[in-house]
Every structure is written in structure tokens, then in C-alpha cells.
Structure 1
Amino acid sequence: MKKSDFKFSNPILLKTNFLVNKEFKNNENVVIDNSFNVSINRDESSNIAIVELTIEVGREELKTDVPFYIELVIGSAFSWDDVFDENTLQTLLSQNAPALLLSYARPIIHSLTSMTPFPAYNVPFYNFTEK
């Protein structure tokens, strides 16, 4: 195995918003929606891009059918050597980078939700190759 030519710096937690629904009645069949937004800020003069992943868990309206709402933004600087063509680079920035950032956000979300009266929430795996 060889180290990748696509590198990243330590991810940084940029924002968290966490609301607990005090009106929520514990329900075994809770469906928690997740949504994602990927922001790529690429410096065209160098091989560096800042990628930010915004994750929303639940709904901010906190209707009685959701136990909480989380908005979390995590980002990192990604860099690469001149070995990638433009299509491969776009794939790395739009798919691989957010998947990596989600892996760093997952334990943060688990930790936040473990401090509620509800079971801790584990963000499922997502396929960033499909919109």
C-alpha cells in the first residue's frame, strides 16, 4: 500500500447548534432525517481546497416526532500533488472529502446525543457518489 497523494489537515469543528425536544415522547419507530451540504472553496493558483460539510440531523422545527435537532459544520484543508486529472480531483473533493469529514463528525454527534434522555444517535453511512 502507498500513501495517498490526496492529503488533508486536521478537521476543524466550525459550528454546532444542538436543540433537545422536551416535548418528545419516546417512540421506538423514530425516523430521523439527515441532510448534507458540501462547500468547496478551491484556490485555483495552488493545489489546496477548503471543504466544509454541513450536517443537519432532525428538523429545527422540533415537532413532537423528533427528539433533537443538530446542525454541525466541519471543515478541513485538502491538498494534492500534480498527479490527478481534473475529473479525479473533482471526485476527491466532492465525494471523498465529505465522506472523510463525516467520519470525524459522527463521534461528535454521538457524544452530543448521548447526553440526552434519548438513546445516542449513530449517523449512518452515506454514499456521496449519489446526489
Structure 2
Amino acid sequence: MKQPKESVFQLLNQRMVDVKFLLNEEGTKQEKNLEVEVEVKAAPTEKKALVELTLHVNKDMKDQLFNLSIKNQGVFSWENLNEEEVKPYLEENAPAVLLSYIRSTVTNLTLAAGLTPVILPLLNFKNQE
């Protein structure tokens, strides 16, 4: 098997900028019945971009055990890519990278709330509408 090469697209920095978690003590649904909504925003400049991933879980609380909203930002850079070539990196790769940070936070938050730790599913950002 060939060794992977370093990507031309790199994460320089990431940070969590907003987290809201609400426990619904009267909720009846199990944690496995998650309703997940995703928002992705990208603000590219020359060879860098600020990408923001916002994840809403159980946004319409109703009978859910919890709801949460998390916004994470990452600064990404690239070399030798034109605007058209970098577009899939910003729309697919960057959100997938940021999701990995959000997933661990969701697991820790639900555990700290006394719930069964929730492991968010991996998401495919390719060809999303």
C-alpha cells in the first residue's frame, strides 16, 4: 500500500465559537432518534478560507431528551489550486474535518448530562443541497 501524501488543503486553526445545550427532563425519545441539521458557510480569500459549520441536533425539542446547537470555525489554506479546484475542498472536506471536532464535543456533553453518550454519525457532505 502506498503511503499517503500531505494534502494541498490544510487546517491551520479551528475553534468552537458557540455551544447551546438544553436537557429536556420530560423527553421520551431515545438518543438514537436524532434529528440533525447542518449549515456550512465558507468565506474564501486568496489561498485561505474561514469555514463555519453549525450543527443543530433535535432543533424542535418536543419529546426529545435534549437539543443542542454547536458552531465551529476553521481556517483552511491551500497551495496550487484555482477557485474551481478549491470549491469541493471548502464544501466537502472542510466541513467533514470540522465535524470531527463537533462529534467529540457532543459525546462529552451528553455524557456530562447523564445521558447515554451520543456518537453522531459520520456525514457525507458531497453533493449536498
Decide: shared fold, TM above 0.5. yes
Give 1:28 shift: 4.8
Extract structure 1 runs of 4+ deviating beyond 4 A. 27-30
Identical pairs, percent? 29
Give 1:115 shift: 1.4
Q: Distance in 2 between matches of 1:103 and 1:6?
A: 16
Q: Distance in 2 between matches of 1:6 and 1:88?
A: 11
Q: Secondary structure at the match of 2:13?
A: coil
Q: 1:115 aligns with which of 94, 107, 112?
A: 112
Give 1:120 shift: 1.1
Give 1:85 shift: 3.4
Q: Secondary structure at the match of 1:10?
A: strand
Give 1:29 shift: 7.9
Q: Distance in 2 between matches of 1:92 and 1:51?
A: 11
| Count of aligned pairs | 125
Gaps of 5+ in 1: none
- Map Cα deviations across residues 23-47 of structure 1 (whole Å, 9 max, x no partner): 113x55851100100010112xx21
Give 1:121 shift: 0.8
- What letter matches 1:53 in structure 2? L
Call closer, same or farther: CA 1:58–1:109 in 2, change over 3 Å: same
Give 1:10 shift: 2.5
Task: Give the TM-score taking structure 1 as reference length.
Answer: 0.88
Query: RMSD in angstroms over aligned alpha carbons?
Result: 1.6
Q: Distance in 1 between matches of 2:109 and 2:10?
A: 28
Confirm or deny that 1:13 pairs with 2:16. yes
Task: Give the TM-score taking structure 2 as reference length.
Answer: 0.89
- What letter matches 1:52 in structure 2? E
Give 1:117 shift: 3.1
Give 1:86 shift: 2.7
Partner of 1:91: 88
Give 1:116 shift: 2.1
Partner of 1:49: 49
Q: Distance in 1 between matches of 2:38 and 2:31?
A: 23
